Amino acid sequence: MKAIIERQLQRPEFFIPLASLSWLMISSDFNLGKIALVLAIRGGRNLLNVLTR
């Protein structure tokens, strides 16, 4: 199990979103409503960027 965790932490596609979510949770004082709203807005922006390319 330790080896699996170490391998996952070395992959940026796994670690960067995890660190971003952790920062978001800390900065919003673990308010799940705010976190959901921010994630929905970010997802909408990303979707808009993909659709307008």
Chain segment 13-32, per-residue pLDDT in tens = 888 888 899 999 999 898 99
The dihedral region occupied by 29, where left means phi > 0, alpha psi between -120 and 50, and beta the remainder, is left
pLDDT at 3 over 80: yes
* Model pLDDT for residues 28-51, shown as the tens digit of each residue: 898 999 999 999 999 999 999 999
Task: Provide the pLDDT confidence category of residue 10 given band limits of 50, 70 and 90.
Answer: confident
Count of structural domains within the chain: 1
Q: Alpha-carbon distance 22 to 26, whole Å?
A: 6
In which domain, by residue range, is 25 found?
Answer: 2-51
The 3-state secondary structure of 1-19 reads CHHHHHHHHCCHHHHHHHH
Q: Alpha-carbon distance 43 to 35, whole Å?
A: 12
What pLDDT score was predicted for residue 2? 82
